[in-house]
Amino acid sequence: MLLDQNAVLSDAQAVAANAASENVMDLGVAGNAVPGGLFAVCRVDETVAGASAVGVALQTADTEDFATPQELAGASFAAADLTAGKTVFAVAVPAGVKRYVRAYYTVTGSATAGKLSFFLTDAVDMK
């Protein structure tokens, strides 16, 4: 799987509290910008500890400040399932994408460790 630096929304981002991804992707216009589709993928870079669960979501909005974000896809994972090296989220980006996309993490409890990467790609490596 090849990654485009511009499609990396989080690169080993610490998930100690609720937070948006470090990066926002500007698609230029709303709509399905990539023929054949993209996948949203979340990978665990450092095992999550302390929290009881972490929610991962792909969000979209008309404005870069995400004043009114819309969730395109999301899931919640028990901390025990968030171990280093594991791909926990890999879904096709659905129709309805607006101009901007980002990842959003919702942490339940008090995380003392844990880093996640979230990116868009045209192929998924599930090793």
pLDDT of residue 101: 93
pLDDT score at 49: 95
Q: By the 8 A CB rule, do 56 and 71 touch?
A: no
pLDDT mean over 43-63? 96
- Mean pLDDT on 15-36: 81
Residue 79 scores a pLDDT above 60: yes
Q: Are 56 and 118 a contacting pair, CB within 8 Å?
A: yes
Does residue 30 surpass a pLDDT of 70? Answer: no
Please provide the average confidence, as pLDDT, over all residues in the chain.
89
Q: Which amino acid, one-letter code, is at 78?
A: A
**Distance in angstroms (rounded) separating the CA atoms of residues 65 and 13:** 19
Q: How far, in Å, CA of 99 to CA of 5, rounded?
A: 18
Percent of the chain scoring above 70 in pLDDT: 88
pLDDT for the residue 81 = 95
Backbone angles phi, psi at 107, to 5 degrees: -100, 130
pLDDT reading at 126 higher than 70: no
pLDDT of residue 122: 84
CB 21 within 8 A of CB 35: no
pLDDT at res. 119: 94
Alpha-carbon Rg for the chain in angstroms: 14
- Closest by CA position to 19, among listed 56, 69, 68: 56
pTM of the model: 0.90
Backbone angles phi, psi at 105, to 5 degrees: -110, 130
Q: Which of 8-12, 52-56, 89-93, 99-103 has the lowest mean pLDDT?
A: 89-93
Beta bridge partners of 113: 49
Q: Where are the beta strands (DSSP E) in the chain?
A: 8-14, 19-20, 25-26, 39-61, 70-78, 87-92, 100-121
